[in-house]
Structure 1
Amino acid sequence: MQLYTFLDWFFTIASALMAILLGYYVSGSACLLGLLFYLIYPFIIECSYNILSEQEEIIIRKMPEIPIVYHENYNITACGIEKWHPFDSCKYRNVYKQIRSRIKAQHFTPSMLSRGTLLYLGLSRWYLLKMCYSAYISTLIELPVFFLPGAFLRSSLLDPMLLATSGSIYAAKLALEKGWAINLSGGYHHASLNGGGGFCIYPDITLVVNYLKKCQNLNKIVIVDLDAHQGNGYERDFLQDSSVYIIDFYNSYIYPGDHEAEQAINCFEHVDRNTTDEQYITRIQRNLEKHLQDDMEFIIYNAGSDIMAGDPLGNCCISPAGLQKRDEVVFKWANHKKIPILMLLSGGYQKENTYAIGESILQLIP
């Protein structure tokens, strides 16, 4: 991906120089050739990259002491642009520091997976092409960044999210080896194989499921999504797939309100600002007891912290203690059923969430 980003920058600068030079030395209308080149070069490098990039085997050469997955480049620092969005794009670093302050054991640092691997796991070529254009990226992250070069958004925004997506897949492999794993990012549950939205670009949850099916021969996977928002991205991907069992607790009065995607949900519970900690935990325990079957082979736990009181986008009222109890309950049920579990951090839109996330993870580490 570093080569792709380099080529993206190279052709972006080349097209800008071409437009300036043609406009200066030939005519004003001639500079449109530079603009045309800017519009068509992504087709060329996308086709080349898709053809040349090979599928790679996902290998963990050195097993970490604890199955925590983190890379410093998860954090998004796009020259301050990230501050325009309520999402705390650097919470991953803060959670990691909190964990490291008390646990010195070695974690796992992922590398970025190849384009060939992503295509093998089902990511749409057309979707990848559209992400070359900042006008389209603007619609996904809900920020007016259409005036910025696509190359800038790729290096500062897309690449960190793609690295985190790769981390989710590596974490799934770790969970199979260790029984559990936590990726300190990911959980982009509004993204599907063919599109994104809600600050979710890459469909890491769907890609993990496809990895488990295609590369690990698993057949019964359960997604426990306790983020405050509906996980409509992966739900759209698995509308016709009964082997993926979906438990989704969310506030149905807020984004995205995707009624078509709701048809993929096997177990739904509404959560809002009137839901107390006690009610919330009771519902989780009751539904996990009812729906976690002995023949299920893997749990993907989307552990969004936007259910906490005060979160500007979740509109829920769960306390930090309630968040920690929630994570404890889910992990205990996975351990009780002896099902490997992968935890993803997902949403959370206030800085106060970070400390609660760190404390919750610390209690989960044996």
Structure 2
Amino acid sequence: MLKIAYHPLYAHPLPEGHRFPMLKYELIPEQLLHEGTILKDSLFAPEPLAEETITTTHEAAYWLQLKNLTLPAKEQRRIGFPLSAQLVEREIRIAQGTIDGARYAQQFGVAFNVAGGTHHAGSNWGEGFCLLNDQAIAANYLLNNNLAKRILIIDLDVHQGNGTAEIFQNEPRVFTFSMHCAQNFPFRKELSDLDIPLEDGTSDDIFLSRLSEALTVIFAKHQPDFIFYLAGVDVLESDKLGKLALTKNACKQRDLMVFEACLKNQVPVQVSMGGGYSADIKVIVDAHCNTFRLAADLYI
């Protein structure tokens, strides 16, 4: 069974100017249910995350500023929208959904969060629409509860996972891998364990070839027992913020490579969906749904 974290707050509390790309959080589960890829009991609504779990990853002073809505205006501008209680609740439910998804993945092989992939949030900052780093929080949860020993984070969003890299810069049990557009946000990059910066306009063959090579090396070198995968679809040529030139089919092949590597090495994987900003919402939703469809074909 596919288990998928979803909560109505994923879409609704965002400011007016940001609501169009967030429609996908409602439309993805609706489409998957409509076509029969998932059943209603595939979806689960995560509870708010416990504060003590947040502060294993984010500095307590930063978390208190979020919680009390006292984050300085300059830091709110770095995030990209004004802080609100609903936005904070949204983030802590997303992070709990990724933790829950990690536990389901250990049971079923794979699990999803309809949202998540908030990889720009560092230990003491928010950035790029990210307040808390869901996969980093979940990775620390697994390590701290002796549920995993060697974790691999595969970040294939078009933007570098700078927050994730910063959080785990001194943690040898977590290998951070980011393959992203070099000349794109964030313009100040952090150092992942493996970064593959791509030129503007990188096409299908080059992207897939470099990914295949990287996955082979990383699995052999790090030998993870758990994987977090950030499956952003802002790598598409149609994406307004992406700068790469992947077709929807190549995006699907990318996901297939990751899932097949996980299956071959018998490693469970939690998937957060990351970015997607094509002008046509149908393109965004279909590209994301392909990731779920593949998982359903391979794991069920």
TM-score where L is the length of structure 1: 0.74
Q: Sequence identity of aligned pairs in percent?
A: 26
Alpha-carbon shift at residue 87 of structure 1 (Å): 6.8
Aligned residue number for residue 5 of structure 2: 69
Q: Counterparts of 1:254-273 in structure 2 under 5 Å?
A: 254-259=184-189, 261-262=190-191, 265-273=192-200
Q: Aligned residue pairs: how many? A: 287
2:126 to 196, 218, 232: 196
> Which residue of the partner structure matches residue 96 of structure 1?
29
Bigger relative CO (Cα 8 Å, ≥ 6 apart): 2
CA distance in 2, matches of 1:205, 1:232: 13
> What secondary structure sits across from 2:21 in the alignment?
coil
Q: How much has 1:102 moved relative to structure 2? A: 2.1
How many Å apart are 1:312 and its aligned residue? Answer: 1.6
Q: Does 1:179 align with 2:109?
A: yes
Q: How many Å separate the matches in 1 of 2:253 and 2:153?
A: 19
Aligned counterparts of 1:250 and 1:87: Cα–Cα separation in 2: 24
Q: Displacement of 1:345 after TM fit?
A: 0.4
Q: CA deviation at 1:175?
A: 0.9
Counterpart AA for 1:111 = E
Give the C-alpha shift of residue 192 in structure 1.
1.7
Decide whether the 8 Å contact of 1:110 with 1:163 is kept in 2: yes
Letter of the 2:288 counterpart: I
Residue 169 of structure 1 deviates from its aligned partner by: 0.9
**C-alpha root-mean-square deviation of aligned residues, in Å?**
1.9
- 2:22 counterpart SS class: coil
* Counterpart for residue 124 of structure 1: 59
Q: CA–CA distance in 1 between the matches of 2:12 and 2:132?
A: 15
Shift of 1:109: 2.4
Q: Deviations over 1:299-345 (max 9, x none)?
A: 11111111111212111111111111111110011000001111110
Q: TM-score, structure 2 length as denominator? A: 0.89
Q: Does 1:133 align with 2:70?
A: yes
The 1-side partners of 2:178 and 2:217 are apart by 14
Deviates more, 1:109-118 or 1:312-321: 109-118
- Name the SS for the 1:343 alignment partner: strand
**Residue in 2 aligned with 1:342?**
270
Q: Secondary structure at the match of 2:107?
A: helix
Is 1:355 equivalent to 2:286 in the alignment? Answer: yes
Q: Could you tell me whether the CA contact under 8 Å between 2:168 and 2:174 is conserved in 1?
A: yes
Question: Bigger radius of gyration, 1 or 2?
Answer: 1
Equivalent position of 1:319 in the other structure: 247
Q: CA deviation at 1:130?
A: 2.1
Report SS of the residue matched to 2:111: strand
Answer yes or no: is the 8 Å Cα contact 1:86–1:349 preserved in 2: no
